[in-house]
């Protein structure tokens, strides 16, 4: 308690501004994923979500947590909680994806399903690979921390690089899936509306702290934000297109009813004459 370690002083007199920003980020991460959880549950279907999108997001989050927990200087930061919340939210998406995965009740129905849709085996494979990587990351981290401490930084750097690469490309499979289906399905537009600007805001905050030299950190969030923005724009275009078709159909039905009503009244009028 009376150590002269600067970190002890920092913990004794925390920066309330940084703490408040960290809490805001944690709450923002949590709130941004809630619309996606709600949409899958309310639709009782995960149709429209790419298995690779779910897999890459879950594995990336696992690698990020393992990276933080294996580096002593990073475990003390609030970022650990932020990554933990994000991983928990995405892991829950993976569980919902599996629980509400659309399955045919018979082989005939399964053959009639859209060929662009993933199969049940692919959905189970997502869960299996995610759990397998979690076990490997956990055991590997324990081994490096306690048995090979001199190589722990190399292991942590590998996990961090893996998390970065997967996070950067995870939206590509979802973009392809949404484009093939020509609909958003169970993909939440509100989630994308929150996360897309959030990526650029977080990138700006990193740039303010790290400067141009930290391009590898804030550049990732810019790249991710661009992919999210592209997916968001595509999803909004499909939603607006479907609403326009629905409106046109309603107007056509209304006009058809009116024409039918006039044709039915015509014989009566003619008979009266």
Are residues 176 and 49 in contact, defined by beta-carbon separation less than 8 angstroms? no
Task: Give the pLDDT of residue 80.
Answer: 64
Task: Give the pLDDT of residue 198.
Answer: 85
Taking alpha carbons only, the member of 109, 157, 159, 111 closest to residue 134 is: 159
For residue 2, pLDDT over 60 is answered with no
Task: Give the pLDDT of residue 30.
Answer: 86
For residue 41, pLDDT over 60 is answered with yes
Domains of the chain, residue spans: 1-169, 188-273
Q: In this predicted model, what pLDDT tens digit does every residue of 234-254 receive, in sequence order?
A: 999 999 999 999 998 888 888
pTM, entire model? 0.79
Q: In this predicted model, what pLDDT tens digit does every residue of 204-214 receive, in sequence order?
A: 877 877 778 76
List the structure tokens of 151: 């190589």
Task: Give the pLDDT of residue 44.
Answer: 92
Q: In this predicted model, what pLDDT tens digit does every residue of 45-80 receive, in sequence order?
A: 999 999 999 999 999 989 888 887 787 655 455 556
Q: How far apart are CA 64 and CA 50, in angstroms?
A: 21
Task: Give the pLDDT of residue 269.
Answer: 46
List the structure tokens of 233: 């724009």
For residue 221, pLDDT over 90 is answered with no
Look up tokens 């494979």; give the residue.
125
More confident residue, 258 or 184: 184
User: What confidence category does residue 203 fall into, taking pLDDT thresholds of 50, 70 and 90?
Assistant: confident
Three-state DSSP at 232 gives helix
Three-state DSSP at 211 gives coil
Q: What is the mean pLDDT of the chain?
A: 80
CA-atom Rg of the chain in angstroms = 25
Q: In this predicted model, what pLDDT tens digit does every residue of 157-172 receive, in sequence order?
A: 898 889 888 988 999 9
Please give, one letter per residue, the 3-state secondary structure of 145-166: HHCCHHHHHHHHHHHHHHHHHH
How far are the Cα atoms of 36, 125, 175 from residue 122, in angstroms, in the given order?
21, 5, 18
Three-state DSSP at 250 gives helix
Task: Give the pLDDT of residue 199.
Answer: 86
Burial tier of 150 (Cβ tally within 10 Å: 0-12, 13-18, 19+): exposed
How many CA within 13 A on the CB side of residue 215?
2
Q: How far apart are CA 120 and CA 111, in angstroms?
A: 13
How far are the Cα atoms of 135, 164, 193 from residue 216, in angstroms, in the given order?
28, 9, 25
For residue 259, pLDDT over 70 is answered with no
Task: Give the pLDDT of residue 268.
Answer: 46
Q: How far apart are CA 187 and CA 235, in angstroms?
A: 9
Instruction: Tell me the mean pLDDT in the region 27-34.
Output: 88
Look up tokens 């779910």; give the residue.
54
């Amino acid at each position: 308690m009376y150590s002269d370690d600067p970190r002890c002083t920092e913990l004794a007199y925390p920066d309330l501004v940084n703490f408040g920003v960290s809490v805001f980020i944690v709450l923002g991460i949590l709130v941004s994923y809630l619309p996606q959880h709600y949409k899958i549950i309310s639709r009782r279907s995960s149709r429209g979500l790419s298995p690779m999108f779910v897999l890459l997001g879950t594995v990336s989050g696992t690698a990020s947590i393992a990276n933080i927990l294996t580096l002593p200087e990073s475990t003390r930061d609030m970022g650990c909680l932020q990554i933990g919340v994000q991983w928990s939210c995405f892991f829950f998406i993976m569980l919902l994806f599996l629980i509400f995965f659309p399955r045919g009740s018979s082989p005939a129905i399964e053959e009639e399903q859209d060929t662009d849709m993933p199969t049940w085996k692919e959905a189970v494979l997502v869960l299996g690979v995610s759990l397998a990587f979690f076990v490997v990351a956990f055991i590997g981290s324990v081994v490096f921390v306690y048995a090979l401490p001199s190589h722990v930084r190399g292991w942590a750097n590998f996990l961090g690089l893996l998390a970065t690469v997967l996070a950067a490309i995870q939206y590509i499979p979802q973009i392809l899936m949404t484009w093939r289906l020509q609909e958003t399905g169970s993909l939440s537009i509100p989630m994308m509306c929150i996360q897309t600007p959030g990526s650029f805001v977080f990138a700006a905050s990193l740039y303010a702290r790290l400067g141009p030299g930290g391009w590898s950190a804030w550049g990732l969030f810019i790249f991710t934000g661009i992919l999210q923005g592209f997916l968001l724009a595509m999803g909004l275009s499909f939603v607006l297109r479907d609403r326009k078709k629905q409106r046109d159909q309603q107007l056509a039905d209304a006009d058809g009813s009116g024409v039918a009503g006039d044709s039915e009244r015509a014989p009566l009028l003619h008979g009266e004459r």
